[in-house]
Structure 1
Amino acid sequence: MTGGGHWGSSGELLDAIYRTKPKVHLFGHIHEQRGHWDKAGSQYQGGVEYRPNPHSGQVFRPNGPPPQNYPVEVESNNAMANQPSVDHSWTGVWAPQHIVGRPRVIIARKQPDGWHFASEA
């Protein structure tokens, strides 16, 4: 989800996701959603991990999970560097540039009904 308040970034990308139903959606550099979401049944678990100040528990615009009908098992916005000027305007704290998240592993498991995926930080 972006600051514009919608999933999928562009209408074309969102349409492609619903049409093709990928099991994993990997992308980067959307500050509002730096983190990961794993689907468990019909609910998503996970959340935003982007911290403008690495020593704070405060996260950047903690938007909610994907909608329940979103067709992916893992939604992962991967590592990126922060933007000190943007983060400062939001937090009032100046922190030097740094990588903003722990590494993540995407795990693929073959099961009788096909491949399934999960993420671990």
Structure 2
Amino acid sequence: MKEFMFIIRGGEDKYSNNSPEEMQQHMEHWQQWMGGLAKSEQLIGGQPLMSEAKTLTEGGKKITDRPLAEGKELVGGYLLIKADSLDHAAQIAKDCPSFEYGCSVEVREISPME
């Protein structure tokens, strides 16, 4: 199997307005979905990301503290999975709970280092 990364963007505006009950239900959906991926041995890992960042430019000489982009451009998290092909990985991504909040999921194959 090949390895793929799901890059999850957006949804911050919709996610932050939820009640505690809605948040709990959404987290349960995530646990069920990721549990299924783990059970089928397709899940490698993944985490949500914080919104603060440091950007290094000029060969690492310049460091800028900044909040990340808002809205649809915000990368909120990532998942690493195993799948047979890019199409297979995209099929797996279709069930991502992030779509409940208007997120997008970019699916990218990880290039093996040889």
- Tell me whether the two structures share a fold, i.e. TM-score over 0.5: no
TM-score, normalised via structure 2 length = 0.23
More helix by share: 2
For CA contacts below 8 A with separation 6 or more, give which structure has more relative contact order: 2
Calculate the TM-score normalised by the size of structure 1: 0.22
